[in-house]
A and B are shown apart, each in its own frame.
Chain A
Amino acid sequence: MTELIAEIPAWFPKAAEFMTFSPELAWVGTLCLIMLAPLAIGRDARMIAGLAVVGIAVTAFFTLKVMGIISTEGPKTGLTPDLAGGMLIADNLSLFFKMLLLVFLVGISILWMSVSAAQEDDAPEFFVLLIGSALGMSLMVSTHNILMMVIAIEFASLPSYAIVGFNKHKRISAEASLKYMIFGAVSAAVMLYGASLIYGFFGTLDVTQIAANVGPVLAGGGANQLLVGLAMFCVFVGIAFKISAVPFHFWCPDAFQGAKTEVTAWLSVASKAAGLLLLMRLVNVFCVNAGAEVLHGVAVVIAVIATLTCTLGNLAAYKQTSIKRMLAYSSIAHAGYMMAAAAILVDAGTVESFTAISTVLAYVVVYMLMNLGAFGVVALVESKNGDDDSITAFAGLGWTSPALAIPMLFCLVSLVGIPPFAGFITKWYLLAALGEAASGLYWALAIVIVINTLISLWYYMRVVVQMFLKESDKPAIEVPMSGTLLVNACGILLIVILVFSNPLKERADRYSAGLFSPVPTKLADQGSADSLAQSIPLDNIAAPQEGKHGG
């Protein structure tokens, strides 16, 4: 009997590992607390929101603490027996994104309080779904392992589907939720298929290992090349779905229009940012570990999709009559811009992915402010207009409610990317990063982005024209103070960030450097790929088992 127990792999993480992942633990604790809270304190929306904000604050506290640890001790992995191929990672990028999500959650909660709280009966469920999807998104950015990626994407997606359909009494909401879910399911299936092919071929799901060994296979040609290329692309589909990159964007406008506006604001930033940063992490891993021949192919694929995404997003945006749909397409276009940065991986060793990640980090922060502000104003206006989300509902807003119209103006102009707003500076960094990479592909991307910016000017300005140049006999709308303050804070921050752009750039540089990157092992002689496919899994599975005894 004792022998049998000894045979059972016993493993328990150390206290330090718990500390490293305390944000996630606090996050889960918050979820449980909100779920159970109705039993103790009832279903009052304000109480629940307050509880959620406290939970978020505690999580943020631990996140900051771990940031401190990371900055002295370097990136960490843990909560896994195999520390070399860790499932979860705590490094600058993942912690930065956690912090961003938490701040954004607070913003969304404030918006929700001022727009929906009054007529909401299911506050606990709403917050569980919201914070749950946030946890999933944060996990997406904290892993190098394809299995964990799949789980995290699903973790982020499932609550998102539900939260999009949260407007139970509206048909459009249910339809949006269903479409979102079916798309999500298809994408997940494709991703899983790709993951299984990769596991079958390499015998590991650790991206570092794969990146280090994929070069010769892709260069080798024949069936293996096709298989591995296809598998990698299938995994990419799952991420592209989250980013809503063309052609996996079909769900986006429908889901964004059907959902409540604060949910739209949440998904348009958080879900896309999670997908993008996951992509950036993969880019980083490939930059460090893969050879130039792989990088070029990957860069071309990303560049093509980025081009398609921003161009189609902008073109489709400009015939929209619903401002939510318009902003949904705008968010697709912005995802395209950010993806363009992900394409910067020219040659391993010569260009660090560092610039690309830094660019995206800065962009995501500003993008969050712009979208929170713009969707915030939409939500506030819509809530007083009987859920009318057409662009004409904004007519005359500049004269009746300047406190809403001016931040809206700031956010829209910033979304176009012209000074004096922060959207300009981040787009400038993006163009500068592409220019610095100095090769035909990146110049082409930069030109695409500039042309797209010109296209986008037109449809954003349609809203401005409605707000300031159209007359309206509607009375001024009375909105809660908290909502007005939130959107104005976003607007003002956009100017402040332009005037003092250096802190943003410095932080983006800091958090994009020093990412977790384990040393890969050469799996086998690449000469015989067939034997590779058969022999590797056994070796690789054996290795962690030895470790388990020690644990």
Chain B
Amino acid sequence: MNESLLTNLSILILLLPAAGALCAGALGPRHLKGNSHWPVVFGVGGAAIASYILLFQVAGAGEESSVLIELYQWFTAGGGSWFNVELLIDPLTAVMLAVVTGISTLVVIYSKEYMRHHDQPERGYERFFAFLGLFVFSMCILVLGGNFLLLYLGWEAVGLCSYLLIGFYYQKPSAAAAAKKAFLVNRIGDFGFGLGILLIYITFGCLDYATVFEAARLGMDHNVEALATLMSIDAIQASELAMTISSRLPIIALLLLCGAVGKSAQLPLYVWLPDAMEGPSPVSALIHAATMVTAGIYMMVRCGVIFASSDAVMMFIAILGAATAIFAATIALVQTDMKRILAYSTISQLGYMFLGVGCFAAGSAVFHLMTHAFFKALLFLGAGSVMHAMGGIIDVRRFGGLKRILPVTYLTMLIGSAALAGFPLLAGFWSKDEIVHAAFNQHVLLGVVGLVTAVLTAFYTFRMMFLAFWGEERVPEGVSAHESGKWILVPLGILAIGAIFSGYFGVHVHGGGFLGFLEPHGALHHFLEPVTAPFAAHAHEAHAAEIGHGFFAAIAHHWLMYLSALLSILGILVAYVWYVQRPWLPQVVRATFPKAHFVLLHKYFVDEFYDTVFVSPLRRLGRFCYQADVFLIDGIVWFITVIPRMFGQSWRTLQTGALQGYGLGMAAGLALIIVLVMMTT
């Protein structure tokens, strides 16, 4: 690969969004005002172009597709070891960059129109774009970083941007509270993540991916000689190190998993994501659906050596993902806020990705991450377009039959919903099917959960669509609904194309059978193989033995594909019957199972549970600490400061001209030190 080109590209990818953000932030308030989006559009757009060039470079490189670029030495950790600013470019990075910068560009363009009303920029317009640019920069650091330090830096920086953007309307108490909640819940996960990185440093003595992963691999294999060479230590130390590594890797994996659970909103730390919808819709689309929340998946795939080393941890991840997927999907069934439905759907889909990673199908997880980025960003942006037209109202009970008023939004969202529902041949179908397939290989129950979730997904997605766009035409009072302009519709259109076709990166055309002409595990998986190799190496043996030829074999082999296609259509049909053909039916169901509906509507009372069990006691503790602070600490501080205050008092009297006091102080000090010198020497 052309290393200098890659270096320049990756520097461009990092610097362009940062420069755009800086420009918007510095010049926005005074000079650019309503034009503040331009620097960010160009910055992020430029980064996107660079990312795609980089993707093609990496794709064209064949075997040698991983390059470590050491930009410079950053700071010394003492004792001659350095932390470097180094970038790792490999297929995973390239795919992530393409997704992140590509979606970001569309979202930034979309925001140009979305963030203004009656062609007047909203309050804080330049702040919004500056934060968006900063977010893209941080996300690129996270993805590009070649060591855990940069990963952590980007990880925390995207968290900060998420906080700032959720609280964008900080005058609204609910937005401020949501921002705080997101930040604090993420703190719990990040605490574990930070500990994990510390443990890595303690164990391996360094933080760069290459050394850590290689040492972890050798340590697991008990390859003492190679380990000794790698870490430049002698054989005895190396065998000790190997023991330490094999005993600590599961702990490290669990600690890192904490971070992923927080950032990717899995059970039990998912509670921040639905509230995060208080932020503007483009933020929900970009940060809380397409990019930032997938950082946890990225991290787990990146650290494949660490995670795949322990079957128990992998099983745990799979169960966690499956549980989250079905749990969030059931909540989404009864929600009425369009963005919250999508938020729970995001949590559920992230659960699928966790399930994929946990079932050693890391390639499929990344594949789903990519397709999901397209259709979920599309759905959120579409919801934003609806919200824009409805004057800020997003509750599906308050409007209906919008498909004539918002034709383009309707059409694009329909495509997005179909993709999310796993409608055959659309993006979501391929990627979800693969994960369910992998889940069946791991354990039947996991697969069943995956299938059930698929039905639920199809149902709640189309429930939302039917309620909002079908039936009698209703708009909230005082709203003159109108279709959005081209800055909003063009990104929707592009994303819709992605929602249809992005799945075909992950399938390959099969020459053989009649029905099996499209097979999973296509170009994307092949491309990602160097990164996902640790998973493949540990994968369940049943995985490897999936061969079958001929017509019937193909049917037997593909039964899952047909089944999930059928289930998806079934879910859509049920939604159609319930909400279009017989709109009274949901009422009947609700009346039949009032308790279940009540529990779902209140999201299993998890927020209430957390509130009573964690938040309130912590508040009380906080109040107690505050009181203790006021009485005890302040008292102690007061007591301690007696000396400086006495100092200060004498100071003031001496200030009036009594220079003798200074002299006395100096002489006394001198004498004291001389005594000390005499005592020590």
Chain B residues lying within 8 Å of A505, measured Cβ to Cβ, are 75-76
How many angstroms between the C-alpha atoms of A199 and B77 in the bound complex?
Answer: 44
How many angstroms between the C-alpha atoms of A351 and B645 in the bound complex?
Answer: 40
Shortest distance in angstroms between A165's beta carbon and chain B's nearest beta carbon?
15
- CB pair A225–B681 under 8 Å, yes or no, is yes
Chain A residues lying within 8 Å of B648, measured Cβ to Cβ, are 316, 319
Q: Which of B258-299 contact A (CB under 8 A)?
A: none
- CB pair A182–B77 under 8 Å, yes or no, is no
Shortest distance in angstroms between B404's beta carbon and chain A's nearest beta carbon?
48
Q: Is A247 an interface residue (CB 8 A)?
A: yes
Q: Is B407 an interface residue (CB 8 A)?
A: no
- CB pair A502–B78 under 8 Å, yes or no, is no
Q: Which of A62-70, A92-100, A248-256, A341-349 contacts B (4 or more CB under 8 A)?
A: A248-256
Residue from B72, B74, B644, B666 in contact with A248 in the complex, judged by beta carbons closer than 8 Å: B666
How many angstroms between the C-alpha atoms of A300 and B675 in the bound complex?
Answer: 13
Q: Is A501 an interface residue (CB 8 A)?
A: yes
- CB pair B669–A247 under 8 Å, yes or no, is yes
Given contacts A247-B669, A248-B669, A297-B677, contact A183 B662 (CB under 8 A): yes
- Interface flags, B645-668, vs A, CB<8A=1, else 0: 101100000010101001101101
Q: Which of A17-25, A107-115, A229-237, A382-390 contacts B (4 or more CB under 8 A)?
A: A229-237
- CB pair B674–A230 under 8 Å, yes or no, is yes
Looking at B73, B75, B79, B674, which has the most chain A CB atoms within 10 Å of its CB?
B75
Q: Which of A403-440 contact B (CB under 8 A)?
A: 425, 428-429, 432-433, 435-436
Q: Which of B148-175 contact A (CB under 8 A)?
A: none
Given contacts A229-B677, A502-B72, contact A247 B665 (CB under 8 A): yes
Secondary structure class of chain B's binding surface, majority of residues = helix
Given contacts A502-B72, A502-B73, contact A246 B669 (CB under 8 A): yes
Chain A residues lying within 8 Å of B670, measured Cβ to Cβ, are 190, 237, 247
- CB pair A315–B76 under 8 Å, yes or no, is no
- CB pair A247–B78 under 8 Å, yes or no, is no
Chain B residues lying within 8 Å of A304, measured Cβ to Cβ, are 673, 676
Secondary structure class of chain A's binding surface, majority of residues = helix
Q: Is A541 an interface residue (CB 8 A)?
A: no
Shortest distance in angstroms between A34's beta carbon and chain B's nearest beta carbon?
33
Residue of B nearest to A458 (CB): B637
How many angstroms between the C-alpha atoms of A297 and B676 in the bound complex?
Answer: 10
- CB pair A429–B76 under 8 Å, yes or no, is yes
Chain A residues lying within 8 Å of B673, measured Cβ to Cβ, are 233, 247, 301, 304-305
Shortest distance in angstroms between B639's beta carbon and chain A's nearest beta carbon?
13
Chain A residues lying within 8 Å of B655, measured Cβ to Cβ, are 254
Shortest distance in angstroms between B675's beta carbon and chain A's nearest beta carbon?
11
How many angstroms between the C-alpha atoms of A251 and B75 in the bound complex?
Answer: 37
Q: Is A186 an interface residue (CB 8 A)?
A: yes
- CB pair A435–B666 under 8 Å, yes or no, is no
Residue of A nearest to B77 (CB): A432
Residue of A nearest to B661 (CB): A250
Q: Is B544 an interface residue (CB 8 A)?
A: no
Given contacts A246-B669, A248-B666, A250-B665, contact A297 B680 (CB under 8 A): yes
Q: Which of B90-139 contact A (CB under 8 A)?
A: none
- CB pair A229–B678 under 8 Å, yes or no, is yes
Chain B residues lying within 8 Å of A237, measured Cβ to Cβ, are 670
Chain A residues lying within 8 Å of B76, measured Cβ to Cβ, are 429, 432, 505
Residue from A226, A318, A432 in contact with B678 in the complex, judged by beta carbons closer than 8 Å: A226
Q: Is A218 an interface residue (CB 8 A)?
A: yes
Residue of A nearest to B640 (CB): A315
- CB pair A233–B662 under 8 Å, yes or no, is no
Q: Is B547 an interface residue (CB 8 A)?
A: no
Residue of A nearest to B82 (CB): A502
Q: Is B244 an interface residue (CB 8 A)?
A: no
How many angstroms between the C-alpha atoms of A225 and B663 in the bound complex?
Answer: 27
Residue from B79, B659, B668 in contact with A247 in the complex, judged by beta carbons closer than 8 Å: B668
Q: Is A548 an interface residue (CB 8 A)?
A: no
Chain A residues lying within 8 Å of B72, measured Cβ to Cβ, are 500, 502
Q: Is A179 an interface residue (CB 8 A)?
A: yes
Residue from B78, B668, B669, B676 in contact with A301 in the complex, judged by beta carbons closer than 8 Å: B676
How many angstroms between the C-alpha atoms of A248 and B668 in the bound complex?
Answer: 11
- CB pair B644–A316 under 8 Å, yes or no, is yes
Given contacts A432-B76, A436-B79, A501-B74, contact A186 B669 (CB under 8 A): no
Residue of A nearest to B656 (CB): A175
Chain A residues lying within 8 Å of B75, measured Cβ to Cβ, are 425, 428-429, 501-502, 505
B→A interface (CB under 8 Å): 72-79, 82, 641, 643-645, 647-648, 655, 657, 659, 662-663, 665-666, 668-670, 672-674, 676-678, 680-681
Q: Given A250-B665, A318-B641, 17 other A-B contacts at CB below 8 A?
A: A186-B666, A230-B674, A247-B665, A248-B666, A254-B655, A296-B680, A297-B681, A300-B680, A316-B644, A316-B647, A319-B644, A429-B75, A432-B76, A432-B78, A436-B79, A502-B74, A505-B75
A-B contact pairs, 22 of them (CB 8 A): A182-B659, A186-B663, A225-B681, A233-B677, A247-B666, A247-B668, A247-B673, A248-B666, A250-B665, A250-B666, A254-B655, A296-B680, A300-B676, A312-B647, A315-B641, A315-B644, A316-B647, A316-B648, A319-B641, A435-B78, A436-B78, A502-B82
Lowest 5 A-B CB distances belong to which pairs? Answer: A247-B669, A432-B78, A250-B662, A315-B644, A297-B681
